[in-house]
């Protein structure tokens, strides 16, 4: 409950507020010289007399104003433009929030730029994973790279007809250079030797050669493999297996190292890898499952799978400069070489034999056709390019 003392105190406070307001009005109506002295005193400055030339007119104007009963001019009336209030610094939480927003925006821009660069690099680079020797680990990119236009975009190579073998390279007759920076091979125009027909697409089912086959090689660990041919591809599994045994059993093939032996085994027995002969459509699908784009033109190797394109097996490539049997030996030795842990190699120089691990399907780059990893009893190889 309010007491009389409290009510008196309230009246006193109201009186003091009114007195303070009246004092403020009086300060506004002070003589200019008095206001000047008051301002200097508020800022701790010594009182400096106003010049007579300025003080006299202002005093007369103030006296006339008071005589007419009007209030004196206020500060705002004497200003030609309003004063600019000083901007107080933002509180610390606000500054931190603004900083975080700017930082988030910059990070978003950097991530967008990095994503765009990553997409460009992905479109312009070949898929070239590498695995350790013995076929374990990641996939070795054993395929020849797909064709590309001048802008680096992938183009699909034409598939062979259902009755005639393919004799043309990818569109445009140009081969993409391997990572070694070699110049493109000359355009391929000649038609290679043809020994049979094949289908562009088979059943997707594989028949496997009976076995076991002979042990190939004299020393080293024994590595077993199976051989299968797609039904409808035009080549039986047993005929294909006979050629595979002949190639891998040659003393110029991988057994010449003396560190390994090879043996073909029938379906159902344990094997390290399988050599497939597949139609262009089926080989393209199988290679794509491992992330390799062959455009239905080349062969490839995945972990535990050596996939030979029947179009290349039956017709090789234009301008290879060697019989079809030599290209078949190259295709088997190249892809099995990837299974054994070898990567791509470059042509040592114009006129030299091409290393078997060179991507000969896309041109010899000045080298001569060569299907074997060992020449004159010694390993023949070029500079690694993977």
Q: Is residue 259 included in any domain, yes or no?
A: yes
Q: Is residue 382 included in any domain, yes or no?
A: no
CATH number of the domain to which 276 belongs: 3.40.390
**Segments of 108-245 assigned E as strands:** 206-208, 215-216, 221-230
This prediction's pTM: 0.53
Q: Is residue 140 included in any domain, yes or no?
A: no
Q: Is residue 323 included in any domain, yes or no?
A: yes
pLDDT digits (tens, 9 = 90+) for 259-280: 999 999 999 999 999 999 999 9
Task: Name the helix (H) or strand (E) containing 358.
Answer: none
- Exposed/middle/buried for 178, CB within 10 Å: 0-12, 13-18, 19+? buried
Res. 104: pLDDT tops 90:
no
pLDDT digits (tens, 9 = 90+) for 318-372: 999 999 999 999 999 999 999 999 999 999 999 999 999 999 999 999 999 999 9
Q: Which of 117-131, 157-171, 231-245, 285-299 has the weakest average pLDDT?
A: 157-171
Q: Do residues 339 and 378 touch, judged by C-beta distance below 8 A?
A: no
Q: For residue 326, give both structure tokens.
A: 């030599």
**Cα–Cα distance, 279 to 290 (Å, whole number):** 17
**CA dist 3 to 8, 14, 15, 119, Å?**
9, 17, 19, 83
Residues of the domain holding 215: 192-343
Q: How far is CA 362 from the centre of its chain?
A: 25
Q: For residue 301, give both structure tokens.
A: 């190797």
Q: Is residue 128 included in any domain, yes or no?
A: no
Q: Is residue 262 included in any domain, yes or no?
A: yes
- In the 8-state DSSP scheme, what is residue 368? B
Which pLDDT belongs to residue 358? 96
Q: Do residues 365 and 358 touch, judged by C-beta distance below 8 A?
A: yes
**Cα–Cα distance, 236 to 276 (Å, whole number):** 11
Which pLDDT belongs to residue 199? 81
Instruction: Look at the chain and report how many structural domains it folds into.
Output: 1
Q: Do residues 141 and 292 touch, judged by C-beta distance below 8 A?
A: yes
Q: Is residue 11 included in any domain, yes or no?
A: no
Which residues touch 254 (CB under 8 Å, ≥6 apart)?
248, 260, 262, 333, 336, 337, 340, 373, 374
Q: Is residue 198 included in any domain, yes or no?
A: yes
């Amino acid at each position: 409950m309010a007491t009389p003392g409290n009510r008196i105190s309230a009246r006193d406070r109201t009186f003091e507020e009114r007195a303070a307001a009246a004092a403020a009005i009086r300060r506004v109506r002070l003589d200019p010289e008095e206001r000047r002295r008051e301002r200097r005193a508020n800022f701790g400055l010594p009182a400096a007399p106003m010049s007579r030339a300025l003080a006299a007119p202002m005093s007369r104007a103030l006296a006339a104003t008071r005589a007419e009963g009007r209030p004196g001019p206020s500060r705002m009336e004497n200003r030609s433009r309003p004063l600019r209030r000083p901007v107080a610094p933002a509180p610390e939480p606000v500054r931190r929030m603004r900083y975080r927003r700017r930082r988030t925006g910059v990070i978003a821009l950097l991530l967008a730029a990095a994503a765009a660069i990553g997409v460009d690099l992905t479109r312009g680079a070949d898929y070239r994973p590498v695995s350790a020797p013995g076929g374990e680990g990641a996939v070795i990119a054993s395929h020849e790279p797909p064709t590309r236009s001048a802008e680096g975009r992938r183009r699909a190579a034409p598939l062979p007809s259902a009755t005639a073998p393919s004799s043309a390279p990818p569109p445009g007759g140009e081969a993409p250079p391997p990572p070694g920076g070699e110049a493109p091979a000359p355009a391929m125009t000649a038609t290679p030797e043809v020994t049979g027909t094949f289908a562009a697409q088979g059943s997707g089912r594989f028949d496997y050669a009976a076995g076991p086959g002979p042990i190939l090689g004299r020393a080293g660990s024994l590595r077993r493999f199976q051989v299968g041919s797609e039904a409808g591809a035009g080549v039986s599994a047993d005929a294909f297996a006979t050629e595979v045994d002949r190639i891998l059993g040659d003393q110029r093939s991988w057994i010449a190292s003396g560190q390994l032996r090879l043996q073909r085994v029938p379906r159902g027995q344990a094997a390290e890898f399988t050599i497939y002969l597949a139609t262009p459509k089926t080989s393209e699908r199988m290679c794509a499952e491992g992330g390799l784009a062959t455009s239905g033109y080349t062969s490839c190797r995945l972990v535990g799978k050596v996939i030979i394109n029947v179009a290349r097996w039956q017709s090789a490539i234009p301008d290879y400069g060697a019989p079809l049997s030599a290209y078949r030996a190259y295709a088997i030795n190249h892809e099995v070489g990837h299974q054994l842990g070898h990567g791509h190699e470059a042509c040592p120089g114009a006129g030299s034999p091409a290393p078997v691990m060179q991507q000969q399907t896309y041109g010899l780059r000045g080298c001569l056709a060569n299907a074997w990893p060992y020449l004159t009893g010694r390993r023949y190889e070029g500079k690694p390019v993977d």
